[in-house]
Amino acid sequence: MLRTTLGACLGALLLLAGPARAEDKLKVGFVYVGPVADYGYSFQHDLSRKALAEALPDKVETTYLENVPEADSERAIEKLARSGMGLIFTTSFGFMEPTLKVAKKFPKVKFEHATGYKRAANVSTYSARFYEGRYVCGKIAATLTKSGTVGYIASFPIPEVVSGINAFMLGAQSVNPAVKLKIVWVNTWFDPGKEAEAAKALLAQGADILAQHTDSAAPLQEAEKQGKLAFGQSSDQYRFAPKAQLTAVVDDWNGYVIREAKAVLDGTWQSHDTWGGIKDGMVVLAPFTNMPADVKAMAEDTVKAIASGKVHAFAGPVTKQDGSVAVKEGETAPDPMILGMNWYVKGIDDKLPQ
């Protein structure tokens, strides 16, 4: 008798505790390296935070820390973990080591690190195949350029940026093998002043189309001012340059962020690496504008062909700048090669900063 009463009491207690717990919202935190108002990379990540809050309003609560310096990020990440977050997105490469260190201390919290390569039982990594979008941009640029010279504003010589330049060039060469690519390294992700200076320099050197791997809309605006064309970065930047933007390689994290939050809620979350592209909806090309209908059709076909797997940016033969063969005819570059790319393809007239 006593035992059954005790059992009933315990059962009631568990029942009481159960639903109360389930009603607790999952707290999801985001750490951004830049300001959310950069209208580029951090802005785009913050859109996914908002999309998550909208998609699961009763189940999640989101918050973020912006402008977190990479060398001083451990405290910010730990602060989020201590504030009861169940899932934390650290969205810049430089957050890798601090994320792993904090994750070790908080084994129950799930971490998602963007663009890194080190994982743990509670740390996943994710990134997007930006190079696929850049291949499309390269084709558009080579078709539309009148001077035969395209300008490229690059941030840092890491594999993501280098593979983007190569994919752009390979796309361009598939249309016009003689196209020239001029590259300026600005050594920053976000510095509108520097980016605008680089854009001016490239335009002065005869480039009539600009591509960029930096986050502000300044190069687009410079192109707009001078009546030239350009590609947006990370986010659809059409409103900054309605007469200049051809398209933009947009990072769309919404689907991924929502999927991961749901997995945590269901208890099915597992550490894994995700590298999604056009097919997965992680890389999206902004609407094709400021180009004739046939170029637009060509671009749309290329996007479809990449999504279906018919076209691969690094399909062989790919020749390195020094003349050696990187990818043989009939093969495509394996992921590890793209992830560690530190060489230019043939035809690029620049020396890769080492």
- CB 354 to another protein: min, Å: 6
Name which position in 51, 59, 63, 289 contacts another protein (CB under 8 A). Answer: 63
Characterize the bridge pairing of strands 318-319 and 325-327. antiparallel
Characterize the bridge pairing of strands 283-285 and 245-251. antiparallel
Q: Which helix (H) or strand (E) holds 248?
A: strand 245-251
Query: Which range in 38-46, 144-152, 235-243, 333-341 contacts another protein by CB under 8 A?
Result: 333-341
Q: In 3D, which of 279, 284, 261, 235 has the Cα closest to residue 43?
A: 235
Greatest extent of the chain over all pairs of C-alpha atoms, in Å: 93
Name which position in 156, 174, 194, 274 contacts another protein (CB under 8 A). Answer: 156
On the 0-12 / 13-18 / 19+ scale of CB atoms within 10 A, 281 is middle
Binding mask 176-205 for another protein (x = CB under 8 A): -----------x------------------
Q: How many residues bind another protein (CB under 8 A)?
A: 35
Distance CA 251, CA 233 (A): 9
Query: Is residue 97 within the footprint of another protein (CB under 8 A)?
Result: yes
Residue closer to another protein, measured from CB, 205 or 342:
342
Tokens 């904090």 belong to residue: 102
Characterize the bridge pairing of strands 209-212 and 60-65. unpaired
Name which position in 25, 51, 78, 197 contacts another protein (CB under 8 A). Answer: 78
Residues 267-286 that bind another protein (CB under 8 A): none
- CB 176 to another protein: min, Å: 30
Helix axes 73-82, 96-105, angle to 10 degrees: 30
Tokens 């998550």 belong to residue: 52
Query: Which range in 10-18, 141-149, 313-321, 339-347 contacts another protein by CB under 8 A?
Result: 339-347
Residue closer to another protein, measured from CB, 63 or 289:
63
- CB 138 to another protein: min, Å: 22
Q: Which helix (H) or strand (E) holds 10?
A: helix 2-23
Query: Is residue 335 within the footprint of another protein (CB under 8 A)?
Result: no
Query: Is residue 340 within the footprint of another protein (CB under 8 A)?
Result: yes
Query: Is residue 148 within the footprint of another protein (CB under 8 A)?
Result: no
- CB 200 to another protein: min, Å: 21
Can you give the binding site for another protein, defined by CB under 8 A?
A: 29, 63-67, 69-72, 74-76, 78-80, 82-83, 93-94, 97, 101, 105, 117, 156-159, 187, 339-342, 353-354
